[in-house]
Amino acid sequence: MSKISVIDSPWTQEMIEVTSNLYRLGWDERNGGNVSYLLREEEVSPYVDLANVTRTIAIPFDAASLVGKYFIVTGSGKYFKNVAKAPADNLGLIRVTADGSAVELLWGFEDGGVPTSELPSHFMSHISRLTVDPEHRVIMHTHATHLIAMSFTQELDERSFTRKIWQMCSESLVVMPDGIGIIPWLVPGTLEIGKATAEKFKETRLVLWPHHGMYGSGKDMDEVFGLIETAEKSAEIYTYVQAQGGAKQTITDSELVALAASFQVVPKVGYLE
């Protein structure tokens, strides 16, 4: 019996929707940004023959911790604006090989493409988040405009940066009580930046790459997109406030404490007075 089209799977449709929205919002110009989605075998098997490997693609990272895991990922050099009209060229369904040195392509990248060059960073980040949250499934990297701008004008101190984001919108503390991690500027696509990002993901779900973009993590697409969306909205408000001459008032620490208590979230220790 023939399989149902991979394009009709809920996880491919989620990838199409999120990449379309990221492009629409201006956060992923050209081939900027990348997304990986950890899938369960029972989610994949109705759509592909698990024994039919199209290609084996070596990766510059020991992914032994992810052996046998399935991911749908965006491709290297692929434009998010093209995913909806040509998902089989711009997305790939991969499985980590038994020795962790490569991935097997089960579907996609039909034009000869390969997974995002940030795949090592994604894999390291997945490994890190799974140690904290066994329900974790999504890593999303995007060039959120106002957050990048703030990385040029604000002190790159996690407490200071997070507080500014929390103070711009009541929703921010509720959505991201664990705050925003920040790494130094590092060359993208390297193991070094992957290791630094994964280390930050042990304590937060959002990591800022200064002058570059944001990495988000979570249990599903909505959670991760919503995290980045909320942080970016607060950064946008901060930009407008500064352009209007600076804040005359703000949400105080005592008000943030009351907000956290009301919504039953725990702000990162030491971030509020």
Q: Which residues form the catalytic set?
A: 118
Contact 175, 169 (CB under 8 A): no
User: Which element (helix H / strand E) includes 238?
Assistant: helix 221-243
d(CA 151, CA 147): 6
Judging by beta carbons within 10 Å of its beta carbon (0-12, 13-18, 19+), is residue 71 exposed, middle or buried?
buried
Sign of CA dihedral 246, 227, 21, 26: positive
The helix-helix angle for 119-132 and 191-200 (nearest 10°) equals 20
- If you write DSSP's letter for every residue of 93-158 in order, what string do you get? EEEE-TTSSEEEEEEE-TTS--B-TTHHHHHHHHHHHHHH-TT--EEEEE--HHHHHHHHHS---H
d(CA 112, CA 40): 25
Task: Give the list of residues 6+ apart from residue 198 with CB closer than 8 angstroms, or none.
Answer: 121, 124, 125, 127, 128
d(CA 239, CA 45): 47
d(CA 86, CA 258): 48
d(CA 273, CA 267): 11
